[in-house]
Amino acid sequence: MSPDESAFFRDADPWGFIIFARNIETPDQVRALTSELRDSVGRDAPILIDQEGGRVARFRPPHWREWDTALDFCTAAGGNAAQVMHLRGRMIAAELKAVGVDVNCAPMLDVATKDSHAIILNRCYGFDPETVAVNGRALAEGQLAGGVLPIIKHIPGHGRASLDSHHDLPHLDTPLAQLQSSDFVPFSRLSDLPMAMTAHIIYSAIDPENCATLSPAVIDLIRNDIGFGGLLMTDDLSMKALSGSFAERAAAALSAGCDMVLHCNGERAEMDPILSEVPRLTAAAAARAEAALVLRQPPEPFDFAQAEDALAQVMKDAAND
């Protein structure tokens, strides 16, 4: 980092950091960066990444393993999908932890549908909520075993969206009962996990005016109907599904009930106004953040080569069934 960046982070004192492909060159370089980021705030701050494998992967060959998209991976594994998703989570965690990254924005618990936008579809773990929940739990537990905290996303469910919220605001008119019996189910099943990320989607049955990230009604549903009691963060405030100034976006998300905001593009012109609207964590948010970090445990013993062999054998057996 430059001296100016270090000074900025020292003064801003973010709860954590998220890195992207633009920040990544080699394992040694990433280790140095994650160390510098933590030094800038003087503590063991969490460092996040989107490393789902497949379409969304910031770490790629030649230094890191390539993965099939999650939907293809689970489909190929058949009845062994949960087993291989656990291995996937554990192997990804080993690579992340080795370079100082300790939070992964996965599992993705969105239920695939015939209307799912391409940006979501092959990242999903299945077309029915129970399958998604089982496979999502397996991946999360694999990550936790590797010392990497999972973030479930995109709560309360992005699978039905036919638009890409990076560019547009999806609007779902699905009846609440249908959402409750399908889309919300994986999030309810995994509501004990430590962190979640909101969806920039309007659910008209709950709040016809505001997307989930900015909706007190949807946040209340996440807390009380779905039962998620962990740390709730927004999806990236830079996404074009949101409108208004960055200060307005940050203030609205916190007012709606999100614990913290996520800003991903690294643009100082956006970060400065966001900082003007984000106070220190509330007592409740700080408690949820601390409860999440308590789960950041040293990795269990693990042999990557043995895991590769086990994964290859499971996939071979599935192909022969």
Active site residues: 166, 235
How do beta strands 260-262 and 231-236 pair? parallel
Straight-line distance from the first to the last Cα atom of the chain, in angstroms, rounded to the nearest whole number: 51
Distance CA 34, CA 28 (A): 10
DSSP code per residue over 270-316: HHHHHHTT--SPPHHHHHHHHHHHHT-PPPPP--HHHHHHHHHHHHH
How do beta strands 260-262 and 202-203 pair? unpaired
Q: How many CA atoms lie within 13 A of 224 on its CB side?
A: 7
Measured in whole angstroms, how far is the alpha carbon of residue 55 from the centre of its chain?
14
Residue pair 149/296 in contact by the 8 Å Cβ criterion: yes
- Residue whose entry in the numeric block shows the structure tokens 């936008």: 117
Alpha helices in the chain (DSSP H): 3-12, 27-41, 70-77, 81-97, 118-121, 129-145, 176-181, 185-189, 216-224, 246-256, 268-275, 283-294, 304-320
Percentages of the chain per state (helix, strand, coil), in multiples of 5: 45, 10, 40
| 24: number of Cβ within 10 Å | 18
